[in-house]
Structure 1
Amino acid sequence: MEQAARLCYRSKRSETREGREKFLKNLIDVGHESIIEHGSLSFLITTDRACANQIVRHRLASYSQESTRYVDLSDFDIVLDQTYTEEERERKKRACGSLAQVYKKMGGDKKSNRDKARGALPQCTATRLYMTMNFRELRHFLKLRLDKAAHQSIREIAYQILKIMKEEYPVFVFDFDLADYGDIYNLEIKEDMLAEND
């Protein structure tokens, strides 16, 4: 990425990693983010199908998703975000158990019947998704999906991505603070409880 940016200015490459990171941070800071499109990251995400539908709306990315047409989902798992109470979780599990029976009765265990049987699968059916985004699109994804207006499930995924990036690629997310998104997992409450116990 630095090499691509240096080409624009015919400037000399940085001698150190710190110099390269400072150079990239300055470019991001002034809004010259097209340069970070030259690098990308890939994530393996397990989520529910409804959340996966939101994720794949980010078009400047590549996706590979588990197929409901080719994978036997007779014993499907479900994914529920942090906002569900225990009672709601149990109610959801019972309803999904009934839908699993419908899927089986429609012959979902046979490849020839899956097109019809998969219509019985609930939106909370677990799915695995491989996502590749360039760094600029990742920043855009995080800005949108960490916002309080975003759905809880996708906020949880965005938080986990930010956490990885803070640890492994901090230069690209220097202007994001994990503490600003503590409400996603009620981290502020947990930290307050820990402080009281000290």
Structure 2
Amino acid sequence: MKGRAIRYSSEEMAWLEKNRAMVISAYHAAFIAKFPRDDVSLINLHSLRKRKGWKTGRTGHFEAGKAPMNKGKKCAPGTGGLHPNARKTQFKKGERTGIAQKNYKPVGYERISIDGYRERKVNDDLPFKDRWQLVQRIEWEAANGPIPDGYALKCLDGNRLNCAPSNWEPVKRSVLARLNGGRWRKTLAYDDAPAELKPLVMATAKLKDRIQEVRP
């Protein structure tokens, strides 16, 4: 009982140690049947075994070389489990329920990213990150082929929602950094420049990048 130590007679302790390997539920039931004690619970006996360090011979692990009980048993095709109660709560392939169904967007659906770019859902496959692609990339590659390695698309007119291929130019990533104002933001960023100066900012960034590239 909680609050005070439980005392056991020498006869009770001898019996408890001798039968320590029994499953705890049977252990308790057998003890109560032999020694009528209304102050000894299953938890009390479990704690006693632990305090005494009595080993039960069970580790909770599968023994090496021992075949699992369900070895060779196969589930019925398409059921995912043999027991009817298990099958009731199993998801069916392609099935969506709850919040997944509420939030589902079909292939072709478009959204605006937190950075202001249009994104289009292109499939329902995994991983999740590959389900959405930038619309400007989809449109540009459809018209011009794959973007070269080491390059990224730069919006020319400053309107990121304008995904026409003519509004995007592939530039080297090193140039892209200069278009953003450079490492110390000492130069005018492309997106902040007036429309009439954007071509000059672009040309300057490319020239500086080329000078850096060929400089010994």
Could you tell me the TM-score, scaled by structure 1's length?
0.18
Choose 1 or 2 for highest CA Rg: 2
Q: Higher helix share goes to which structure?
A: 1
Q: Which has the higher contact order (CA 8 A, sep 6+)?
A: 1
